[in-house]
Amino acid sequence: TIQQNRAIMECVRAGRVEAGARRAITGCPPHGRRTERRRSSVPWPRGVGRGRAASEPASTAPRASLDKTEASRTASGSSGLDYSRLLECCEPDAAPLNVAVLVSGGVDSSVALQLLKRAGHKLRAFYLQIWFEEAFDNYWGECPWEDDLRYVQQVCEQAGVELEVVPLTKEYWDRVVSYSIDEIKAGCTPNPDMMCNSKIKFGAFVDHLEASYPAGEWDRIASGHYARVDRESGPGAATLCMSQDSKKDQTYFLASLRPDQVARCMFPIGCFPKDEVRALASAFALPNRDRKDSQGICFLGKVNFDEFIEKHLGTMEGPLVEDETGEVLGTHRGYWFHTIGQRKGIGLSHGPWYVSSKDIEQNVVYISRNYDSESRERSSFLCHGFNWIAGRTAAEVAEGGLRCKVRHGPGIYDCVFCWVDGEGGTARVDIRGKDHGFAPGQYAVFYDGCTCIGSAVIRSMPEPLTS
C-alpha cells in the first residue's frame, strides 16, 4: 500500500496520470450534480465565512466526489495502480455517509477532509473552540488559535465544505484541565490528550451534535488521528487498530474511548505514514501544506507550564534529595512542578540531574545523575482503572500475543498480565524488557497484535534507592 501511494503521488506531481484517474485522485471532473442543501438551525459564529456544503458544489468548483460506478471505472486508470487505496480508511463502499469532520488547522485533519470528500461522503467541518478565556500575561500573544481558525477557514473553503465553530471552553476546563490539575496536585502524571479525546472530541462534541441536529443525523465522527478502525469482523463491530506509521500512531491517546465511541470513529489518514500525508497535502495544494505539526500539552498550547501550575497550585518549598546518598542538595518550589524522568527545571550544577522519585506526603523530590542506570530499570508495574474496548481483557489474550505501551511513540513491549486482587481491581504487568519511565497516573495501553484492546492507569511510584 505504501509503495502504491508513493507511486500515485509521483504520478500526480509529474502529471503522468490520465484524465480519468486524475479525477479519482483530485476530485476534478468537468461537471457536477446539484443536490438539495439542508439548512442548519445552528447559529453561525461571527467571523467565520460560510463555505459551500459538500453536497452543493458551485458550478466552477470541483465536484465533491465521483459516483460509485465512475469511481470504480477510473480507479485503476491505464497505469494499473489501485487508486482506491487512497481511500482505504475512508469507507468508500459505504458512501454516502453523513460525516462530522473535526478540523484543527493542521495538515493531518485537512488531508483527512480532502480524502473524505473524494470518498463521496456528505461532510460538515467542525472547529472546537477550547482556548482559555482567562488572561494569562503571555497567553494571548503566544497561543496560535487565531492562525488555526484562519487555516481552517481556508481549507474548508477550498474543499467546499461548510464550517461550524463549536464553543466547548467550559466543558474542556471541567473535563480536561481540572482533571490535569487534580492529578498533578496528587503527584501523578496526567495525560490530558487522552482525556481530550474521550471527554471532548468524541464526548462533549458528540453531545453537541445530538443536541443540535436530528437524532441519527451523523453516521461518523472523523478526525486526523493516526489510527484505524476495523469493521470487518462482523456487522456493527468496530475495533481500534494501529496505523501504518508506528512512530506517529495515536492509538495510545485513543485507548480511553468507550466501545460505542470507537464505533462512530473514522480516521482517514490512518492508512498512511506521515511523509505520505505531507505528500498528499502538497498534491491537494492545501493552504497549510507547509505548516509545522503542533507540539506540547494539548490544553496549554504555548503557555509556560510552571506559570500555569503556580497560578493554580501555588508554591510549597521542599528539599531536593540525591537519591543514592540521601544528601539534601537544594530546594524545589513544590513537588507538583516535577515529574518522574524530568531533567529541566531542577536548577543544580554538575548535572545533568533527573527526577527519580517523589514523596508526596513529605514534599520531597529525589534526584539523580544516574537516572538511566540499570539499577533504576524496572520490568513490572501495578495498574488499575481499566477501560476495555475490544470485547476482551488483557488476561484473555492468547499467550504470547499481548503487548503494551507505556507512552506515546513506537516503543512497545511484549508483556504478561495477571490480576492481583480479582478481575477489575488491580493487575500486575510484567514486560519483556526494562523501562525507566513508569510513573503514577501514566497510562498503559494494551494490544492484541495490532488491535488496541484497552487501557489502565499505572499506580506504583518508583521507590527511592535510599529507602
The amino acid at residue 291 is: R
Beta strands per DSSP E along 82-181: 98-102, 122-129, 163-167
Q: Dihedral sign, CA of 393, 394, 395, 396? A: positive
- Specify whether the CB–CB gap between 210 and 227 falls below 8 A: no
Distances (CA, A) of 59 to 29, 30, 54, 415: 11, 10, 13, 57
Max Cα–Cα distance, the chain, nearest Å: 77
Whole-angstrom CA distances from 78 to 26, 45, 108, 395 are: 17, 46, 30, 50
Q: Is the dihedral of CA 191, 192, 196, 199 positive or negative?
A: positive
For the question of residue 28 being annotated catalytic, the response is no
Please say if 383 is a catalytic residue.
Answer: no
- What does the alpha-carbon distance between residue 216 and residue 142 come to, in Å, rounded to a whole number? 39
Phi/psi at 387 (5° precision)? -135, 105
- Residues in the chain, how many? 467
Residue 392: how many other CB atoms lie within 10 Å = 14
Q: Which of 90, 196, 241, 265 is catalytic?
A: 196
Spot the catalytic one: 271, 298, 383, 404: 298
By annotation, the residues acting in catalysis are 196, 298
